[in-house]
Amino acid sequence: MRYRVLGKTGLRVSVLGFGASSLGGVFRDIDQDAAIRAVHVSLEKGINFIDVSPFYGLTKAETVLGKALRGIKRDSYILATKLGRYGSNLSDFDFSAARAARSMDESLARIGVEYVDLIQAHDIEFGDVSQVVNETMPAMRKLVAVGKARFAGVTALPLKCLARTAQQSAADTILSYCHYELNDTALLGVLPGLADHGIGIISASPLGMGLLSVRGAPAWHPAPDIVKQACAKAAAHCAARGASIEKLAVQFSVAEERIATTLVGSASPTNMERNIQWIDEPLDRALLAEVLDILRPVHDVTWPSGRSENN
């Protein structure tokens, strides 16, 4: 396993991180014992960064993660969770200082730890960005001051909103998803400005939430049909070559050295072991060029998320 420094935090994080949304049964029903083993396998194989949220499985992911981490030395892993998003409706977002304080205590209790290394405002594009800058971030800094967290960051899909808010709020980190993968590398466009502020970069969903897989995008996926079709064509091309588009996607995403860690999530210990093995294997550059050519017509095509003014 390789490690990189997460911006000005100084934290050395594994280039592959464990995205614990899978523990909440977000993508499929899970076997809890297998999910716990997936966490253990990940830690044993060198992953040291775990990201979760109360939103994932409506607190289930944090609860299952807490069971998985029971008895494991707290200084052996770097833990991130979130606050501000508690459901799928607009009414389920609350970025107030009072809710931030309660949310932190609730998460610590569910996971069974005394502190997290990183607390993040979750999907800020669904809220009032000025509130995130002027109320939520100061509230998270208070959590840092009292020892409940070590650093504070923000997460979102729309990149301009994410980068601008991170800089205005002096965030320590950003978490971006679906913007550094085979079909979308738009994250690269905001990296220089973030680097100027020492902001650490976390990227998630190297498979594009299922776009870059043999199984294909789930029915709920918000990507335009042209993106789904192009990704399906790329997956079929890899399969015809006797290769795995999932492997290519993970290898491609992890190779960008300016991204400290890339989150992959699975409640299957076998899948996590496979993901970890892939990043130590050589990248098939000829296949990569062919796949990028197939995806070129939809490169950086994304979808709206959150309030219209934040897109």
Instruction: State the DSSP string of the chain.
Output: --EEE-GGG--EEESEEEEGGGGGTSSS---HHHHHHHHHHHHHTT--EEE--TTTTTTHHHHHHHHHHTTS-GGGSEEEEEESB-SSSGGGB---HHHHHHHHHHHHHHHT-S-EEEEEE--GGGS-HHHIIIIIHHHHHHHHHTTSEEEEEEEESSHHHHHHHHHHTT-SEEEEESSSBTTB-GGGGGHHHHHHTT-EEEEE-TTTTTTSSSS---TT--S-HHHHHHHHHHHHHHHHTT--HHHHHHHHHHT-TTS-EEEE--S-HHHHHHHHHHTTSPP-HHHHHHHHHHHGGGTT-----S-GGG-
Closest CA to 27 of 159, 158, 205: 205
Indicate which residue of 56, 86, 177, 180 is catalytic.
Answer: 56
β-bridge pairing 16-19 and 12-14: unpaired
For the question of residue 56 being annotated catalytic, the response is: yes
What is the CB neighbour count within 10 angstroms for residue 78? 23
Q: What angle do CA 147, 258, 7 make, to 5 degrees?
A: 20
Angular region, 274: left φ>0, alpha ψ -120 to 50, beta rest: alpha
Q: What amino acid positions are annotated as catalytic residues? A: 56
